[in-house]
Amino acid sequence: MAIFTNRRKENVEGNFYVDSTCIDCETCMILAPEVFKEDGDASSVYNQPSDEQNKIRALQALVACPTHSIGLVENLPETKQVRESFPILIEDSVYYNGYHSEKSFGAASYFIKRENGNILVDSPRYAAGLAEKIKSLGGVKYIFLTHKDDIADQDKYAEYFGAKRIFHEEDFNRHLPSAEIPIQGQEIFRIDEDVKIIPVPGHTKGHTVLLYRDKFLFTGDHLAYSPVKQHLHAFRNACWYSWEKQIESMKRLAEFNFEWVLPGHGRRYNADYPTMRESIGKCIEWMGKK
Ligand code: SF4
């Protein structure tokens, strides 16, 4: 829970504030950019919400914040309804979970509702209300984990839903030393026709991405959109295994069709196939210069 006396001095006066526990994960700036912005090495409120929509987005950020660093001087009655609004539909049957976890460095996670078994993509922090809501959507058959950094409370969700975890063995670690469905090597792994899991070593050795219906690409920490560069990009300063391998992986990914990039960290991107292809081409070119 945010503490008012630890409120950052950069916040403007008003009901919403960010306290000093912020880890600068960007989640609030992505969800409510009209309210939160980076100031120094943390977020602060630079505009109080000016209308109902702004207020709801700011409350979504409050619920999603991995460190509970966003506070209210006076409680708002809408908070309960916003809490219960997660997971939030993105498009078709793909949802954004909110409830980011500090254990995943604040990474986003997603939920796919599908006929042959729902999939949790990376793990949100465990919240009973979110688990209940996901249960009402049919529960979880598989938990797909892109890589070892974004596994958060996967163990609790696996137990709650009796779900099978899908995870590349190169990223097994002390927090997750095995998985019900281990992935090995560099071959594409399929769960049914509509789900492809593609190994993309680079950020970590065992990083994989999931392509659903040749439309939604869940990219973990491999790929995200940069509003500054105006094209897709990768995190050069957070590449833990091999930048050269990550470039090779990016070239492999460029051979697939998709319309959505849904990352763990950074911005989502939605575009038609040709525009997406052009953007990933710019990303590869940019990566080669770094
Ligand atoms: S979501 Fe929370 S931790 Fe992340 S930048 Fe905003 S206030 Fe900081």
- Pocket flag, ligand 1, residue 26 (CB < 6 Å): yes
Average pLDDT of the chain is 97
pLDDT value, residue 127: 97
Task: Give the Å distance between the CA of 36 and the centre of ligand 1.
Answer: 9
Domains of the chain: 4-73 (3.30.70.20), 88-289 (3.60.15.10)
What number does the ligand 1 atom closest to the CA of 61 have?
1
Token pair belonging to 278: 């052009």
Pocket test for ligand 1, best of 1, 17, 18, 35 (most atoms within 8 A of CB): 18
φ, ψ for residue 216, nearest 5 deg = -110, 120
pLDDT value, residue 140: 98
Token pair belonging to 256: 């697939």
The rounded Cα 140 to chain-centroid distance in angstroms is 17
pLDDT value, residue 290: 74
Secondary element (H or E) of residue 29: helix 27-31
Q: In sequence order, what are the beta bridge partners of 226?
A: 231
d(CA 105, CA 82): 23
What number does the ligand 1 atom closest to the CA of 36 have?
6
List pLDDT tens digits, range 208-254.
999 999 999 999 999 999 999 999 999 999 999 999 999 999 999 99
- Pocket flag, ligand 1, residue 181 (CB < 6 Å): no
Token pair belonging to 8: 């950052």
d(CA 174, CA 259): 35
User: pLDDT of the chain along its 290 residues, tens only?
Assistant: 899 999 999 999 999 999 999 999 999 999 999 999 999 999 999 999 999 999 999 999 999 999 999 999 999 999 999 999 999 999 999 999 999 999 999 999 999 999 999 999 999 999 999 999 999 999 999 999 999 999 999 999 999 999 999 999 999 999 999 999 999 999 999 999 999 999 999 999 999 999 999 999 999 999 999 999 999 999 999 999 999 999 999 999 999 999 999 999 999 999 999 999 999 999 999 999 97
Is 113 in a helix, a strand, or coil?
coil
pLDDT value, residue 109: 98
Q: What is the pTM of this model?
A: 0.96
